[in-house]
Copies of this chain bind each other. A is one copy, B any other.
Amino acid sequence: MSRGLVVALSGGVGGAKLALGLSRVLPPEELLVIANTGDDFEHLGLSISPDIDTLTYALAGLDNPATGWGRRDETWSFMESIAALGGETWFRLGDRDLAIHVERTRRLRAGETLSQVTADFCRRLGIGPRVLPMSDDRVRTRVRTDEGWIDFQDYFVRRQCRPVVRALAFDGAAAARPQPEAMAALQTGAVRAVVICPSNPFISIEPILAIPGLRAAIANCGAPVVAVSPIIGGRAVKGPTAKIMQELGIEPGAATVARRYGNLLAGYVVDPVDEAEVAGLDVAVTVAPTLMSSLAEREALARVVLDAAGRLSRGG
């Protein structure tokens, strides 16, 4: 396997599974994960970064495999108690999970950047690969529904994705600066692959690509960009990807996700059930199981993706 840096773009659950797979087949210094922060929000006065946290917990082995979010061995005393005080309970914060939000909020208020806080948490939790926010500036995904624009977590958690999505916007993205370390890495010429994890393209990957300079840096980094389809047989493995695509007038499918990424993609990994659907695409398709139910499957898919990138690098 050729050496060089692998840059992965990731949202939460699905992306974190592949990021974990990559972290187990690569030396830590060869993996850099750029995380979506469009889902970040302030709740109960705390700064919450759901995708960074899901990645952090997954890479540290602290994730909750039953829920896909939050921590394993969690307790819920805080939530019970805040309900009695009239606090909001629609966003579930476990007692262990709360620690990362309280300490992050304290450090951000003290002047640290989200990058610095995230790097320190990763170091303390024994995570080798770098996890970087797409930007240290505030970007907030907003959802236009028939009732007007609402905040992403309001749509995603409080309303449980029930409102029909008419449009998405990434407030602050146009003025946000890309995370400097991520940009520097992309510009070194040392990148051997960019992996777009099987996250929701609209709400997890496109906010990253909307940061000025970041999409161009990826396109020009000299390495192939390989995406893994988040859609299997027309359905999302988890979350509202398929529902959002339908509501935006896009047929939910592996092919339409690839078309959405457009000429950024050199390679595309799809599940066997979608092989026929993507036959006509102008992209190098690799067919492999993408569900990643087990750790072994996460590692296997990571190898598939890296091999695909390797073949594309050699012009194969």
Which A residues are within 8 Å of any B CB, using their own CB? 44-46, 71, 74-75, 77-78, 80-82, 84-87, 94-100, 102-103, 105-106, 109, 120-121, 124-125
Q: A51 to nearest B CB, angstroms?
A: 18
A97 contacts across to B, CB distance below 8 A: 81
Chain B residue nearest in CB terms to A120: B86
A71 contacts across to B, CB distance below 8 A: 81
Grouping DSSP codes into helix (H, G, I), strand (E, B) and loop, the A interface class, with mixed when no group exceeds half, is helix
Chain B residue nearest in CB terms to A60: B84
User: CA A105 – CA B101 in complex, angstroms?
Assistant: 14
In the complex, the count of this chain's copies comes to 2
Q: When the two chains form their complex, are residues A100 and B77 in contact, meaning their CB atoms are under 8 A apart?
A: no
**Of B78, B86, B96, B106, which is within 8 A of A96 by CB?**
B78
Contact status of A99 and B86, CB under 8 A, knowing A45-B109, A105-B45, A109-B45: no
Q: When the two chains form their complex, are residues B80 and A77 in contact, meaning their CB atoms are under 8 A apart?
A: no
A109 contacts across to B, CB distance below 8 A: 45
Contact status of A121 and B75, CB under 8 A, knowing A45-B105, A80-B96, A102-B46: no
Q: A214 to nearest B CB, angstroms?
A: 28
User: CA A102 – CA B103 in complex, angstroms?
Assistant: 12
User: CA A94 – CA B75 in complex, angstroms?
Assistant: 12
Q: A100 to nearest B CB, angstroms?
A: 6
